[in-house]
Amino acid sequence: MLTHVDDAGRPRMVDVSAKDETFRTARAVCEVYLPDAVTRHVRDGVLDSKKGPVFHTAIIAGVMAAKRTHELIPFCHPIGLDRCNIRIEMAGPNRAMIECETAVRHRTGVEMEALTGATVAALTVYDMCKGLSHDIRIEQARLLEKRGGKSDYDGDPALADAGADAS
Report, as residue numbers or ranges, the catalytic residues. Answer: 127
Q: In which region does residue 78 sit, left (phi positive, over 0), alpha (psi from -120 to 50) or beta (all else)?
A: beta
> For residues 125 and 17, what is the distance between their CA atoms, to the nearest angstrom?
38
**Residue 84 φ/ψ region, left for φ over 0, alpha for ψ in the -120 to 50 degree band, beta for the rest:** beta
% helix, strand, coil for the chain, step of 5? 30, 30, 35
Question: In angstroms, rounded to a whole number, what is the distance separating the alpha carbons of residues 150 and 50?
Answer: 46
